[in-house]
Amino acid sequence: MSGAAVIVALRVGVSPDVAFAAFANDIGQWWKSHPLFRLSRKGDGVLRFDPQGPEGRLVTRFDDGDEWEIGLVRHWVPGERLAFGWRLPSFKAGQATEVDVRFEAVGGETRVTVEHRGWDNIPQEHAARHGFELMLFQRRLGEFWRMSLKGMSERL
């Protein structure tokens, strides 16, 4: 099962330096909590890299003032790469996944690629405890699609 990963990429109309800075510095502004993919029971909170830079960590602060460390920064290369650990409250101690974000110039724009790896680190019983939940899975993804399409049509 090694190498299980999610890769999502998208192009943004700014330079890699601007994209990196916005990703890292403004994450508390652009990260939009989504009812179907909440980071914790308390929602997503407000995310930030604290402190900014290679010694930082990704932290979120919930409405009640509690904070959760999502993960340590592994690579902080402005304009190129931002990698960090990813651990949610539902994970057991010592379990983590890793997120690697790359910024590549494409013409005058930037391709931003998010690779999220590391299911391996999560024992099966963690998720399996809840059963298969396929119906829930389908309903949630179906709803995700509807919301995405609605959002898209509103922009047109």
Give Cβ neighbours of residue 53 (< 8 Å, ≥ 6 apart).
73, 76
Dig out the tokens for 29 from the structure.
Answer: 């502004």
Residue with tokens 């909170």: 45
- Contact between 96 and other proteins (CB under 8 A)? no
61 touches 70 (CB < 8 A):
no
Find the angle CA(132)-CA(84)-CA(111) to the nearest 5 degrees: 90
Q: Which of 58, 82, 83, 112 binds other proteins (CB under 8 A)?
A: 112
Q: Which of 66, 138, 139, 150 binds other proteins (CB under 8 A)?
A: 138
For residues 151 and 154, what is the distance between their CA atoms, to the nearest angstrom? 5
Of 22-61, which residues contact other proteins (CB under 8 A)? 22-23, 26, 29-32, 34, 36-37
Q: Which of 144, 2, 6 minimizes the C-alpha distance to 86?
A: 6
| Minimum separation from the CB atom of position 19 to other proteins (A) | 6
| Minimum separation from the CB atom of position 54 to other proteins (A) | 21
| Minimum separation from the CB atom of position 24 to other proteins (A) | 11
Residues that bind other proteins (CB under 8 A): 1, 4, 6, 8-10, 12-14, 18-19, 22-23, 26, 29-32, 34, 36-37, 112, 114, 116, 119, 122, 124, 127-128, 132-134, 137-138, 140-142, 144-145, 148, 151
